[in-house]
Chain A
Amino acid sequence: MAKIVVVTSGKGGVGKTTTSAAFGTGLAQRGQKTVIIDFDVGLRNLDLIMGCERRVVYDFVNVINGEARLSQALIKDKQLDNLFILPASQTRDKDALTPEGVKKILDELQNEFDYIICDSPAGIERGAHLAMYYADSALIVTNPEVSSVRDSDRILGLLSSKTKRAEEGLPPPKEHLVITRYSPRRVENGEMISVETVQEILGIPLLGVIPESLAVLRASNSGVPVIMDNQSDAGLAYSDLVDRFLGQTVPHRFLDVVKKGSFLRRLFGGGKTTTREITLT
């Protein structure tokens, strides 16, 4: 049986799709057969981030409506044999996604895959609700910024009341905090809230911190998930995050301002990376 993981946030533009793409790719790199589903009906973008936009023939809604088989709609990743993408539909009909339809597709995928990643749309409407409804665990993507933190807390409320697990009286989906676009320099200058503050307010375990990075835009420009860029801080931070999700203990990197060494050392990367342990709440 596959584990279902929802990537959600409430607020838009915080990095849900970037995280879904990196996380799913990272799981596949580690031998887990993974499918990433785009739940953002009407505004699909996972295909672009994964670089498979020109191979989309059928989508999620086509399968729900019986216009295509699941196997016809799944797109195999261009590099990894055990990674698949199920694109969202571009239909304007928001009611195209139904609880029964989603259940049918997830049931079918569960026999085939180790992990099903649900890339949630922003907001708290139907798409977001269905993306989280069947989840076993959740990645809460949060920027260190007031509106994002508040929306994440709202999402935590929904996870513990509006999911199948919650309705059945089971513990809610396991919550994992993912902080993206983090800038240690701005935190040091007192103009960005710290990891510790976000964690203290939301009160859920920290899975990873992704630094603000030029690599993220480069990755989306080229349609290659940023985790593939193992020369970049964001790529490495996502790799650590996936290892942690799979149960390894990996210290957090990129939480502190890197004190610049000599030009040559910076050029050849001879300096030590600073790591830090974060106490989980």
Chain B
Amino acid sequence: MSTLLAFIKKRLNRPNTAQMAKERLQIIVAHERLNRGDRKDGGNLQELQQKLIDMVAEFLGVDKAQVNVELQRDKNRSVLELNVTMPDRV
């Protein structure tokens, strides 16, 4: 009897893996589309990153290696993060 109860309990507690699959796919597919830039609905992320880096480096007079652009995505939002390491003296 206890094994039957355990079985039912286990069955009821089983996570909704389809939902997990959906969320993971939404994130990875959106990310890959943006990186490819070959679909009408996504820009080209690499191009955007490069242009931002060039512009910021030139404007602030720092080396391009000191500028870092990253896109982070989760379920509800996307964050375009721009990190610049400023030279000591300014």
Contacts and interface: CB of A to CB of B under 8 A. Distances in A.
Interface of A: 145-146, 149-150, 153-154, 156-158, 160-161, 187, 190-194, 197, 201-203
Nearest 7 pairs of A and B residues by beta carbon: A190-B16, A161-B38, A157-B38, A153-B29, A190-B18, A197-B22, A193-B18
A157 B25 contact: no
Given A157-B36, A187-B18, A197-B22, A203 B28 contact: no
18 contacts: A146-B24, A149-B25, A149-B29, A150-B25, A150-B29, A153-B32, A153-B33, A154-B32, A160-B38, A160-B40, A161-B38, A187-B18, A190-B14, A190-B18, A193-B22, A193-B25, A197-B22, A201-B25
A194 B39 contact: no
B41 interface: yes
Nearest to B19: A190
Interface string B36-63: 1011110000000000000000000000
Contacts of A197: 18, 22, 25
Nearest to B24: A146
Interface of B: 14, 16-19, 21-22, 24-26, 28-29, 32-33, 36, 38-41
Contacts of A190: 14, 16-19
A202 B40 CA distance: 13
A157 B39 contact: yes
B25 A156 contact: no
Nearest to A192: B18
A146 B18 contact: no
A222 B41 CA distance: 44
A246 B33 CA distance: 31
A190 B17 CA distance: 6
Nearest to B35: A157
Contacts of B22: 193, 197, 201
